[in-house]
Amino acid sequence: MKSDTITGVELIRRVLFAGFTVIVGYLLIHSVFSTCYIGGIEYITDPGTGAVGVNTEHTFFVKDGYLHHLCVFLVYSLLLCHRKKFSFAGWGRKGNAALLALLAAGMGYIVLSGGYYPKYDQQTVMELGAALREGDVSSFETGGYLFKYPHQMGTVLYFRILSAVFGNLNYIAFELVNILFILGAYVLLVKISNEIWGEKENNVGGGILLVCLLFLPYLFYASYLYGTVTGLFFALLSFYMMLLYEKRPGILPILLGGVGMATAVIIKSNYLIFLIGEVLYLILSGCGVKKNRKKLLALAAFAVALFVCLGLSKAGINSYTKYLYGGNVVEGIPMTTYIAMGLQDGKSAPGWYNGYNNTLYEENGFDAQKTTEAAKEEIRKIISGYPQNLSASISFFVKKISSQWNNPTFQSLWLLEEREGRDGLLWLMKGKGRVAYTFLVNLIQTWILAGAFLYGILRMKKAGLKETLLTLTFMGGFGFHLFWEAKAMYTIPFFLLLIPLCVWGYGEWGVYLAGKREELRIDGMASSAGKRVIKRAAVILAVIVVICGISGMDAFTKLFARNDDTGVFNVYTQEIVKQYEGDGE
């Protein structure tokens, strides 16, 4: 009976950890041997006339130098090896406050020195928020933005609120508000980690904030006026409230948890993945306490609160949208079109935006039902072709995964390009500053993935059930964006969940290395313990050598390390440096 009990919840937890470790390991191999960057490239817009345009969101698949990633990991491991117990405890509140101040200063510099006006969808939702405040509902007219994308209504209403507080189109103030939400999200990551692992015994808060400071791309999202930053804060708030509620049920945690997650999903629909991760965690937690009826009912109540708050919020948004649309229902472009588009080639990269959803909706006379059926047929057609084109299909998904998860800038510089402003960040967006930035964030991304991979390996057998919350949500994000419309900026909220796991992973790695070093110091290299250490080190080294040795093989590059554009990207990099220096750096 005891083994059956373990087989239940514990087996599920270990399977989830194994799946997480495999996914992170795959992304780690990608990051070590290749990388992706966003840049501009010319392409023929009209084959008939030969007209040429520029795609500013083109993904370059570039070969990476694995030696510098290995060197960073080995040097850091040596530092850990000389600590009896590696921990970020001892930073204290003052240390954490100093790191938060540095984060705020960095984001403030980006916002104020750039001063860039939003572009594309950011500009549209911000301006529509101001328009709604003035009573302008023209975007609901046939073919208008909210007519086609009513799911953006939550984001538009958010900017309507900001416009009421700070004035219409006061984008600098809106970006400064973003800074507060990013800082709040980082604080919540620390608090969530303390609830999962325990604050007193295993304080990793300082380490998490330090890695957040090193993870430069998300600092640029302070200038990204969309639902990503705000939504992440409220999703993490719900996570934290759930963990508090699980420990001590109460009205306030269940209320803030439900409202927080509903707000996140309303502002940015992709945070529905966080909601699903939260509910699945509650189910697993409930399975672990199924004999405790009171606890089980409390967990069920929280899950119900999540759906009730989301349902009420959606009903309110839909009613308001219907009112603005003259009492009619606004259907908009069906979500199935985004899946169909995510399975198609795009001019930027496989699965990226190609206009299919918008075109299909227009071709079907803005009829949502006809558009849905056409999109489903397109999905069936694509999937049915996989067996006949297996090699091409594998290549498609490898490149799609890489373009989203293996872009160390996460489109952070692209967010600022082609935006009108003071150009205070031109040194970073172009020229040698851009080259240095991309090199640095490339190292940091691989380092974070390596720490998360160590976490999966070293915690697989001994992790508590609470640790599945972050890993499960990350896996959900990976699976969802395997089929949905692709962008690197869509995956950054899920990548941020790896930061606490990375810090904990290196903590475990440091304890392991320090322990082995102590064994060798006491027993010597010739002892049985010394021989075991040498044998394990030899096996690990052999695996690394073999992987590095086959990294140049065609099969390896197709599956793990696409480098189709290395030559083109080198030329592109040289050109932007020359152009910047020619303009008078």
Q: What is the pLDDT of residues 74-103, one digit of tens each?
A: 999 888 877 654 455 556 778 889 999 999
Cβ-proximal residues to 416 (8 Å cutoff; 6+ apart), any chain: 114, 116, 220, 223, 425, 429
Does 123 reside within a domain? Answer: no
431-to-257, 421, 579 alpha-carbon distances in Å: 45, 18, 8
241-to-251, 304, 397, 468, 504 alpha-carbon distances in Å: 11, 14, 36, 16, 22
- The string of DSSP letters for 335-354 reads THHHHHHHTS--SSSTTB--
Task: Give pLDDT tens digits for 562-580.
Answer: 888 877 777 666 666 556 5
| Euclidean distance between CA atoms 257 and 244, whole angstroms | 10
| Euclidean distance between CA atoms 421 and 114, whole angstroms | 6
Does 38 reside within a domain? Answer: yes
| Euclidean distance between CA atoms 312 and 476, whole angstroms | 25
207 and 245 co-located in one domain: no
Other Cβ atoms less than 10 A from the Cβ of 234: the count is 27
Q: Give yes or no for a contact between 332 and 150, defined as CB atoms under 8 angstroms apart.
A: yes
Cβ-proximal residues to 522 (8 Å cutoff; 6+ apart), any chain: none
Residue tagged 């995964």 (tokens): 401
Q: Which helix (H) or strand (E) holds 384?
A: helix 368-384
322 and 398 co-located in one domain: no
End position of a domain, from candidates 275, 305, 326:
326
Confidence at residue 85, expressed as pLDDT on a 0 to 100 scale: 47
417 and 464 co-located in one domain: yes
218 and 250 co-located in one domain: no
Q: What phi-psi label fits residue 44: left (phi over 0), alpha (psi between -120 and 50 degrees) or beta?
A: beta
The predicted model scores a pTM of 0.92
Encoded tokens for 541? 């080294």
| Euclidean distance between CA atoms 261 and 304, whole angstroms | 12
Q: Give yes or no for a contact between 175 and 222, defined as CB atoms under 8 angstroms apart.
A: yes
Confidence at residue 202, expressed as pLDDT on a 0 to 100 scale: 53
How many residues does this entry show for the chain?
Answer: 585
Q: Which helix (H) or strand (E) holds 120?
A: helix 120-133
380 and 270 co-located in one domain: no
181 and 286 co-located in one domain: no
Confidence at residue 73, expressed as pLDDT on a 0 to 100 scale: 92
Encoded tokens for 192? 């969530």
SS3 of 449, please? helix
Cα angle 466-25-392, degrees, rounded to a multiple of 5: 125
Please give the residue range of the domain that contains residue 15. Answer: 2-114+170-225+331-356+366-582
| Euclidean distance between CA atoms 290 and 296, whole angstroms | 6
Does 374 reside within a domain? Answer: yes
Does 160 reside within a domain? Answer: no
Phi then psi for residue 561, to 5 deg, are -145, 75
| Euclidean distance between CA atoms 152 and 118, whole angstroms | 16
| Euclidean distance between CA atoms 53 and 46, whole angstroms | 9
193 and 273 co-located in one domain: no
Q: Which helix (H) or strand (E) holds 40?
A: strand 34-46
Does 133 reside within a domain? Answer: no
286 and 189 co-located in one domain: no
Q: Give yes or no for a contact between 226 and 152, defined as CB atoms under 8 angstroms apart.
A: no
Total of domains in the chain: 2
| Euclidean distance between CA atoms 354 and 351, whole angstroms | 8
Confidence at residue 47, expressed as pLDDT on a 0 to 100 scale: 52
| Euclidean distance between CA atoms 454 and 80, whole angstroms | 13
End position of a domain, from candidates 307, 326, 345:
326
| Euclidean distance between CA atoms 63 and 36, whole angstroms | 9
465-to-11, 14, 243, 283, 350 alpha-carbon distances in Å: 11, 10, 12, 11, 36
Does 510 reside within a domain? Answer: yes
* Residue stretches of the chain with pLDDT short of 50: 1-5, 44, 85-86, 201, 584-585
| Euclidean distance between CA atoms 399 and 548, whole angstroms | 20
Alpha helix segments (H runs only) across 248-292? 251-267, 272-288
Question: Which of 3, 11, 1 lies closest to 287 in space, CA to CA?
Answer: 11
Q: Which helix (H) or strand (E) holds 51?
A: strand 51-63
Other Cβ atoms less than 10 A from the Cβ of 42: the count is 10
438 and 550 co-located in one domain: yes
259 and 244 co-located in one domain: yes
Per residue, the 3-state secondary structure of 220-257, as one string, reads HHHHCCCCHHHHHHHHHHHHHHHHHHHHCCCHHHHHHH
| Euclidean distance between CA atoms 490 and 487, whole angstroms | 5
DSSP state of 464: -
Cβ-proximal residues to 324 (8 Å cutoff; 6+ apart), any chain: 132, 137, 140
Does 143 reside within a domain? Answer: no
207 and 242 co-located in one domain: no
Does 136 reside within a domain? Answer: no
251-to-64, 245, 459 alpha-carbon distances in Å: 51, 9, 33
441 and 551 co-located in one domain: yes
Burial of 141 (0-12, 13-18, 19+ CB in 10 A): exposed
